[in-house]
Amino acid sequence: MVLPRGSKERFHVILIKPSKYDDDGYVIRWWRAVVTSNSLACLNALTESARDRHVLGSEVEIAIHLCDETVQRVPIRKWARSIKKAGETGIVCLVGVQSNQFPRAVDLAKEFQKEGIRSMIGGFHVSGCLEMLPELTPEIKEARDAGITLVAGEVENRWDGLLREAYEGTLQPIYNFVADKPSLEGVPGPLVSKNDLKYFINAQSSFDAGRGCPFHCSFCTIINIQGNQMRGRTADDIERLVRLNHAQGLTHFFITDDNFARNRGWEAIADRLIHLREQEGLHSSIMIQTDTLAHKIPRFIEKMTRAGCRRVFIGLESVNPDNLAECGKRQNMLSEYRRMLQTWRDHNAITYAGYIIGFPGDTYESIMRDVEYLKREIPLDFAEFFIWTPLPGSKDHQALYRKGARMNPDMNLYETAHVVMEHPKMSTDELMRAYHDAWSSFYSKEHCLTLLKRRKGPRRRLLFASLVWFRSTVFLENIHPLLGGYIRLKGRKNRRPGYPIESFWIYYMKRFADFFRYSVGMIQLVSEMYGLVRTATLPEFADYEDIATKPETTETAGGLSLIQKQKRAVVA
């Protein structure tokens, strides 16, 4: 390659967070989405650091391209042809790939390789399979045999070397770094520009203050890949990230730690965020994830809400003690649920909880009964329902794999909204009915009014916005809120291999019908929600209380029905 005098050779690093396919084979993509990718931000920061340190040599410039496929179409041919036309080279990195995204990631990698650009895939699916299983699974073998490099584990200590090997054309088929648990102190933290977040509601940034979790839930992949020993960034690291984001006008943050309450540096981080907020006027709106016992940590809730925590996701999982024991979630004490959620409410934080249905002992009737307990006796703002799924990388999946249990081989279905194996007490149709009915029950018009009446002041606006998000993605698009957004975008030819490409007229007639249905449905949904807000603000509900929100007494502590269930479980 002949370069103009004084110019540098360029090596392109294309970082892509892949989406997944819907049930019709179309890539899930939105005009505006909600959940950003922390993995993409991490790899972007590491690549920028490598570029600034000239890890490929002083005469080689690293050109970085970012794409989150949930909101952007991947311009495969445009990028590939531009690189080849300039006589340059590059590497495509599919980052943070979960099991349900793996089929799409492989298809993207193959398309780039047809254009002459090598690719590698990392994330939880590759890491979980290589760490927990005795052999390569069929989809991993297929990717390897297609010439795709597979990377397991965290790469903070390895990224420079991988980039050098990619540049030199010496990448190996598989790298397994799972045993290497790098320190996060002083490491470039996750960061993207505000422009890269322009397609997301609220332009929410994210960072992981730490990794790992000390608990032993059988369905969890985090503990087997990131470990049970907590590792974290320092308060100085977090301050730097917050300042860099505020300088861009980004003030909303999702701290992606699987369990921030068990981060040993949580208090130092909280104190630093409080200082920035109260002494320097750097106000941040924060969401965290934590466990059901965080309220017992002295000062945790008080300091986190002072620091700006407005939303908290809690691993509730179930109100059935048998189910909690089944999945190793013994730290979840039913008698503490109500007290824990009341404490967060007292500090004006909106609460979200993960709730799993389809445990081996579940029936349709038991699921719907427990959802009613959840609605009536627990002061929870949002329930996120998931179908019990043996995710690759979890103890559940490992045990079933070793037994030779029949599990659906299509990884696209492993997003916890599909049934991927037979249930001992319910048919697939019955379990799917329970899943959909759980959403319909909790987010019914009647219960949404209850949720709005329970909330007073400015948090009611946040509750309203999130209810619109949840109800629209579930009821109008039949997609889980964590995969959702606003106004679905599709591409006629952007379809999973094996599905037919529809004719121009048929496709656009269907898209027009879909858009019309969605628009009418959204107008009706928002109008209904505004009506519920007006009702909730009537004077007669100014002092509204119910069994879930009444101040705790000896008689109401934990919820009477929940205590009775717990006692029955102990006796049994």
Whether 297 is in a domain gets the answer: yes
CA 500 to chain centre: 30
> Looking at the structure, do residues 43 and 126 belong to the same domain, yes or no?
yes
State mean pLDDT over 461-472: 95
3-state SS class at 542: coil
Residue 572 has pLDDT above 50, yes or no: no
> Looking at the structure, do residues 429 and 481 belong to the same domain, yes or no?
no
Distance CA 439, CA 435 (A): 7
Whether 190 is in a domain gets the answer: no
Distance CA 273, CA 246 (A): 12
* Residue 498, burial from CB neighbour count under 10 angstroms (0-12, 13-18, 19+): exposed
State the pLDDT at residue 365.
96
Domain extent, residue 398, equals 204-442
pLDDT digits (tens, 9 = 90+) for 36-59: 999 999 999 999 999 999 999 999
Distance CA 153, CA 176 (A): 6
> Looking at the structure, do residues 450 and 438 belong to the same domain, yes or no?
no
Sign of the alpha-carbon torsion through 126, 128, 133, 139: negative
pLDDT digits (tens, 9 = 90+) for 394-426: 999 999 999 999 999 999 999 999 999 999 999
Whether 511 is in a domain gets the answer: yes
Distance CA 360, CA 322 (A): 10
> Looking at the structure, do residues 336 and 468 belong to the same domain, yes or no?
no
Distance CA 395, CA 220 (A): 7
pLDDT digits (tens, 9 = 90+) for 128-177: 999 999 999 999 999 999 999 999 999 999 999 999 999 999 999 999 99
> Looking at the structure, do residues 292 and 170 belong to the same domain, yes or no?
no
Binned at pLDDT 50, 70 and 90, residue 321 comes out as confident
> Looking at the structure, do residues 436 and 470 belong to the same domain, yes or no?
no
State the pLDDT at residue 559.
46
State the pLDDT at residue 366.
95
> Looking at the structure, do residues 231 and 354 belong to the same domain, yes or no?
yes
For residue 47, the tally of other CB atoms under 10 A from its CB is 23
Which segments of 9-105 are extended strands (E)? 9-17, 29-33, 60-68, 89-94
Residue entry with tokens 């080849």? 84
Q: Helix 235-247 vs helix 266-278: angle between axes, to the nearest 10 degrees?
A: 40
Whether 545 is in a domain gets the answer: no
> Looking at the structure, do residues 465 and 418 belong to the same domain, yes or no?
no
Mean pLDDT of the chain: 93
Final residue before a domain boundary, out of 415, 442, 469: 442
Q: For the domain that residue 287 is a member of, what is the CATH number?
A: 3.20.20.70
Angle at 384 between CA 380 and CA 388, to 5 degrees: 125
Q: For the domain that residue 43 is a member of, what is the CATH number?
A: 3.40.50.2300
> Looking at the structure, do residues 146 and 221 belong to the same domain, yes or no?
no
Residue 320 has pLDDT above 90, yes or no: no
> Looking at the structure, do residues 130 and 227 belong to the same domain, yes or no?
no
The helix (H) or strand (E) run that includes residue 84 is helix 76-85
State the pLDDT at residue 569.
45
State the pLDDT at residue 571.
35
Residue entry with tokens 């890269």? 196
> Looking at the structure, do residues 433 and 449 belong to the same domain, yes or no?
no
Whether 416 is in a domain gets the answer: yes
Distance CA 316, CA 84 (A): 51
Tokens standing for 185? 């102190």
Distance CA 484, CA 261 (A): 27
Whether 151 is in a domain gets the answer: yes
State the pLDDT at residue 357.
95
Residue 382 has pLDDT above 50, yes or no: yes
Three-class secondary structure assignment of 32-56: EECCCCHHHHHHHHHHHHHHHCCCC
What long-range pairs does 307-311 form, CB within 8 A, spacing at least 24? 307/269, 307/270, 307/273, 307/274, 307/277, 308/273, 308/277, 308/283, 308/284, 309/349, 310/285, 310/286, 310/348, 310/349, 310/350, 310/459, 310/462, 311/286, 311/287, 311/349, 311/350, 311/351, 311/352, 311/462
State the pLDDT at residue 560.
45
Binned at pLDDT 50, 70 and 90, residue 3 comes out as very low
Final residue before a domain boundary, out of 411, 442, 473: 442
Binned at pLDDT 50, 70 and 90, residue 224 comes out as very high
Residue 567 has pLDDT above 50, yes or no: no
- Global pTM reads 0.93
> Looking at the structure, do residues 135 and 284 belong to the same domain, yes or no?
no
Binned at pLDDT 50, 70 and 90, residue 331 comes out as confident
State mean pLDDT over 374-389: 96
Looking at the structure of the chain, the number of domains it has is 3
Distance CA 469, CA 464 (A): 9
pLDDT digits (tens, 9 = 90+) for 66-92: 999 999 999 999 999 999 999 999 999
Residue 568 has pLDDT above 60, yes or no: no
Binned at pLDDT 50, 70 and 90, residue 562 comes out as low
Whether 566 is in a domain gets the answer: no
